[in-house]
């Protein structure tokens, strides 16, 4: 309600007008009255009127004298409607020089006054809105300074609150419309030009600065504001959660930037595990852990079983990890770190299992906190498992694709270097692959494992030397890659069924 100060020396006017005119229907209330300009000047500081209805002719200080004093006071911009008698027309015209908006002849006609009240209210609304916009924009500028580390007293934001709108997965598909644009348009229409004050936007999260004026229009109830906005979102088939925080303006722990981020993370963590439409920040209600016990063991188990391509074990490892994360309620920023670690496990293993010269763009780092929709815990678990399975399938596919690729190259390498002390690990390093993977791929390609193939090749070459040369047994052993003749004789006998000497001397 806008306030009116009614100034008239006629008691009948002071008593009659407030009762006869439906001021409140037009957004006004008569807060006080005065019998002349002198009394009115004394009442200005307490009344703080938005509109003055002023008689021209009064004792001690008339209307014109009052106007001159008013325009030199702190209330110089107050709107004024002048009342005058038939014989005061010239005097009334003089008063217009002092910014009087209109004048009415006595007795006051309701049909003339009401349109003026409506016009005055529109002008006051416009002026108030411009003032509020200026105040909020000024506060936003100050807030950015505070956020950037500038010296600003948080008490200047008394009555203000943050509101973060989080876009959650929707059942409705938005083929031709961006849900983010739709959500912002919806907020703009509900908050209006004055309060549509975006502070930060990241991924699915949009944080607005709300003024005391906005909250006052909902009886200072954040829940009432949230209910109104959520109702509007549903009309657009949007699924959103609204998170409020005035605590950060009222309590100082670390820097404002850190306090804002930490409290935001706490609310997002709560939403991640326990989704809801409305939340108002309070530290005692929101708890999150910053460390996961045995994190390294969980991740090492996942890596080991990933290397072995053991899906069943990986599922067990991941389920154990998920249960522990939920049990301790790990903070969402630390869950993001877990996502990175899982990603790098897969990425590292793939880089080992594939030719570095044929690098395939397979994975991108999961910046899921910046996705279009905010990810809840069940969906996050699905994504982590899907990422692991995708990695396994890629490796299995690579095994099939390289069975006649890498394995063929390894066979050629063995035939060139079988006389040397070569091991599977050494050959794997030559081909930029993991030894376990190479062993599996080689056996699929040849039907035997690496050591067996190498031994069979050495024995075959030894047979040739035994029959085609007169070299001594230990010389042949050294030439085909055995450093000890006794070991060579044992392996030869196991393979051929005869000792090297018996084989040479056979008919």
What CATH number corresponds to the domain at position 434? 1.10.10.60
- pLDDT number for residue 354: 55
Q: Average pLDDT, whole number, for the chain?
A: 88
Residues 180, 238: one domain? yes
- pLDDT number for residue 406: 60
Residues 106, 213: one domain? no
- pLDDT number for residue 353: 59
Tell whether the model's pLDDT for residue 6 goes beyond 70: yes
> Is residue 145 situated within a structural domain?
no
Tell me if the pTM is above 0.85: no
Range with top average pLDDT, 75-79, 359-363, 372-376 = 75-79
83-97, 119-133, 255-269: which range is least confident on average?
A: 83-97
Q: Which residue among 254, 280, 306 closes a domain?
A: 280
User: By C-alpha distance, which of 201, 167, 173, 186 is closest to 271?
Assistant: 167
The C-alpha angle with vertex 165 and arms to 160 and 171, in degrees rounded to 5, equals 160
Confidence of residue 360 (pLDDT cuts 50, 70, 90): very low
Q: Which residue among 257, 280, 303 closes a domain?
A: 280
Tell whether the model's pLDDT for residue 374 goes beyond 60: yes
- pLDDT number for residue 372: 74
106-120, 264-278, 338-352: which range is least confident on average?
A: 338-352
**If you search the block for the tokens 């993370």, which residue do you land on?**
265
> Is residue 134 situated within a structural domain?
no
Tell whether the model's pLDDT for residue 240 goes beyond 50: yes
Residues 114, 167: one domain? no
Indicate the burial class of 110 (C-beta count within 10 angstroms; 0-12, 13-18, 19 or more): exposed
Residues 20, 85: one domain? yes
- Residue 394: CB atoms within 10 A of its CB come to 18
Q: What is the CATH number of the domain that holds 71?
A: 3.40.50.2300
Residues 448, 498: one domain? yes
Q: HSE of 51 in the Cβ direction (CA atoms, 13 Å)?
A: 27
Which percentage of the chain shows pLDDT scores above 70? Answer: 91
Mean pLDDT of 272-289: 90
65-79, 206-220, 426-440: which range is least confident on average?
A: 426-440
Distance from C-alpha of 131 to C-alpha of 67, rounded to nearest angstrom = 24
Distance from C-alpha of 159 to C-alpha of 250, rounded to nearest angstrom = 9
92-106, 116-130, 401-415: which range is least confident on average?
A: 401-415
**Rounded (10°) angle between helices 450-468 and 435-446:** 60
- pLDDT number for residue 355: 47
How many structural domains compose the chain? 4
- pLDDT number for residue 359: 39
Tell whether the model's pLDDT for residue 401 goes beyond 70: no
**Which residues form the domain of 186?**
153-280
> Is residue 390 situated within a structural domain?
yes
- pLDDT number for residue 320: 96
Residues 252, 320: one domain? no
């Amino acid at each position: 309600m806008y306030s009116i100060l009614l100034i008239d020396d006629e008691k009948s006017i002071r008593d009659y007008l407030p009762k006869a005119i439906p001021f409140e229907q037009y957004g006004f209330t008569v807060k006080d009255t005065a019998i002349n300009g002198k009394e009115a000047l004394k009442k200005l500081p307490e009344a703080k009127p938005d509109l003055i209805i002023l008689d021209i002719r009064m004792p001690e200080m008339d209307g014109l004298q009052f106007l001159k004093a008013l325009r030199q006071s702190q209330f110089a911009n107050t709107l004024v409607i002048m009342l005058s008698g038939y014989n005061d027309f010239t005097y009334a015209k003089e008063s217009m020089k002092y910014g009087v908006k209109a004048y009415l002849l006595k007795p006051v006609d309701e049909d003339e006054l009401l349109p003026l009240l409506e016009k005055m209210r529109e002008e006051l609304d416009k002026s108030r809105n411009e003032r509020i916009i200026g105040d909020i924009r000024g506060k936003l500028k100050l807030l950015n300074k505070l956020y950037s580390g500038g010296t600003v007293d948080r008490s200047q934001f008394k009555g203000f609150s943050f509101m973060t709108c989080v876009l959650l997965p929707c059942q409705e598909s938005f083929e031709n419309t961006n849900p983010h644009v739709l959500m912002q348009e919806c907020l703009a229409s509900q908050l209006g030009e004055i309060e549509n004050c975006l502070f930060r936007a990241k991924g699915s999260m949009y944080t607005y600065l709300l003024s005391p004026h906005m909250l006052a229009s909902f009886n200072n109830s954040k829940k009432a504001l949230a209910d109104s906005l959520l109702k509007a979102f549903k009309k657009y088939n949007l699924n959103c959660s609204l998170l409020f925080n005035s605590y950060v303006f009222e309590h100082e722990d670390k820097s404002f930037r850190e306090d804002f981020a930490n409290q935001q993370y706490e609310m997002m963590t709560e939403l991640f595990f326990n989704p809801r439409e409305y939340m108002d920040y309070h530290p005692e209600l929101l708890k999150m852990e910053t460390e996961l016990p045995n994190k390294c063991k969980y991740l090492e188990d996942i890596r080991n079983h990933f290397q072995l391509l053991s899906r069943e074990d990986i599922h067990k490892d991941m389920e154990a990890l998920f249960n522990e994360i939920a049990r301790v309620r790990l903070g969402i920023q630390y869950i993001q770190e877990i996502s990175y670690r899982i990603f790098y496990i897969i990425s590292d293993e793939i880089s080992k299992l594939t030719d570095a010269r044929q690098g395939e763009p397979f994975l991108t780092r999961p910046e899921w906190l910046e996705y279009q929709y905010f990810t809840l815990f069940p969906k996050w678990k699905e994504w982590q498992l899907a990422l692991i399975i995708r990695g396994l399938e890629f490796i299995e596919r690579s095994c099939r694709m390289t069975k006649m690729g890498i394995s063929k190259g390894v066979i050629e390498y063995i035939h060139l270097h079988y006389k040397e002390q070569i091991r599977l690990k050494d050959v794997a390093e030559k081909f930029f692959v993991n030894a376990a993977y190479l062993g599996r791929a080689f056996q699929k390609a040849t039907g035997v494992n690496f050591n067996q193939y190498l031994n069979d090749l050495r024995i075959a070459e030894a047979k040739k030397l035994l029959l085609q040369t007169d070299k001594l047994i230990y010389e042949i052993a050294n030439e085909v890659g055995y450093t000890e003749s006794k070991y060579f004789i044992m392996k030869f006998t196991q393979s051929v069924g005869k000792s090297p000497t018996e084989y040479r001397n056979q008919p």
